[in-house]
Amino acid sequence: EPEVTQTPSHQVTQMGQEVILRCVPISNHLYFYWYRQILGQKVEFLVSFYNNEISEKSEIFDDQFSVERPDGSNFTLKIRSTKLEDSAMYFCASSETSGNTIYFGEGSWLTVV
């Protein structure tokens, strides 16, 4: 079964450093998303992306965050200058043009020290 893949599975970074989390969505999907889950808290929506632009973003997704689809397969989340509170599991997801279901990746666990 096709799946969303994410790299790295775990990254430790120092506060203030830039981080890029990578995702390969399911190949025929056109909507892409990032969610995050701070330890012990809800999974929260960050941003959605369609047709090479952000379609919706949450309050969490401030100027420190950006998303990009640099080629035909990857979808990336960049955190420009990480803060301690950015430590979380980040989930990439994708959905196709119909079917109303989004599929999540295994997550990238980011630890900011």
Q: Which residues are at the interface with other proteins (CB under 8 A)?
A: 6, 29-31, 33, 35, 41-45, 48, 50, 55-56, 91, 95-107
Comparing CA positions, the residue from 30, 27, 25 lying closest to residue 7 is 25
The answer to whether the beta carbons of residues 20 and 13 sit under 8 Å apart is no
- For other proteins, give the closer residue by CB, 55 or 81: 55
- For other proteins, give the closer residue by CB, 15 or 30: 30
Comparing CA positions, the residue from 43, 88, 42 lying closest to residue 65 is 88
The answer to whether the beta carbons of residues 113 and 16 sit under 8 Å apart is no
C-beta of 56: minimal distance to other proteins in Å?
6
- For other proteins, give the closer residue by CB, 13 or 96: 96
